Amino acid sequence: MARKVEVDFKLLIVAVALVILATVGSAFATFLIFGGGVAELAGSGSGSNTEGNTPRSMGPVYEVGEFTVNVKNSDARGSRFVRTGIVLEISDDRSLRSELENRHPQLRDRIITLLRGKTAAQIDSTEGLETLRTEIVSSINDLLIHGEVVDVYFIDLVLQ
């Protein structure tokens, strides 16, 4: 009787392993079919993105932090807010990082002011988000003496 239980247990382990293997294989096949194909998976070195521009390498970054801000309310549905994490790509100037750290409260104030001036609809649209990105770069660069902010990345964005 003990022998039969031992054989059944081994069979169960083999069956579970096969199910896991089949699941991983089908997930990988689905990724290849719907996720862009083998060329993207291998990081094809064609040097171009969908817009035909060559991708640039990313420079040093400075994490400003997370923001939770009420936004303008364009309708009567109650208050709306946005929660976002923002990272700045900066020029390769060593003194710029120190300046950003010293001006951290000013950076946060500028970003909060810009976010509060937007409506939920503006932040929810691609064009509005790009406009906000441009405004943040411009506003922060107005503060800086050494170097500049090259780009803004929203690493988290929740709109409620």
State the average pLDDT over residues 19-47.
Answer: 63
Backbone angles phi, psi at 56, to 5 degrees: -100, 155
Note the pLDDT of residue 21.
Answer: 83
Do 75 and 152 belong together in one domain? yes
Do 33 and 65 belong together in one domain? no
Report the distance separating Cα 25 and Cα 54, nearest Å.
33
Q: Is the pLDDT of residue 30 over 60?
A: yes
Range of the domain at 151: 61-159
DSSP one-letter code for 156? E
Report the distance separating Cα 44 and Cα 63, nearest Å.
30
Q: Is the pLDDT of residue 38 over 50?
A: no
Burial of residue 97 (number of CB atoms within 10 Å: 0-12, 13-18, 19+): middle
Note the pLDDT of residue 7.
Answer: 62
Note the pLDDT of residue 76.
Answer: 60
Note the pLDDT of residue 37.
Answer: 44
Do 135 and 69 belong together in one domain? yes
128 within domain boundaries? yes
- Count the helix, strand and coil residues of the chain and give each as a percent rounded to the nearest 5: 50, 20, 25
11 within domain boundaries? yes
Q: How many CB atoms lie within 10 A of CB 139?
A: 17
54 within domain boundaries? no
Total domains in the chain come to 2
The SS3 call for residue 142 is helix
Q: What is the CATH number of the domain that holds 107?
A: 3.30.479
117 within domain boundaries? yes
Q: How many residues does the chain have?
A: 160
Do 21 and 73 belong together in one domain? no
Write out pLDDT tens, residues 40-98.
444 444 443 445 567 778 889 999 999 999 988 766 667 889 999 999 999 877 789 99
DSSP one-letter code for 119? B
Report the distance separating Cα 64 and Cα 151, nearest Å.
13
| 3/145: higher pLDDT | 145
Do 76 and 151 belong together in one domain? yes
Do 37 and 65 belong together in one domain? no
12 within domain boundaries? yes
Do 21 and 76 belong together in one domain? no
Write out pLDDT tens, residues 102-147.
999 999 999 999 999 999 888 889 999 999 999 999 999 999 998 8
Note the pLDDT of residue 114.
Answer: 94
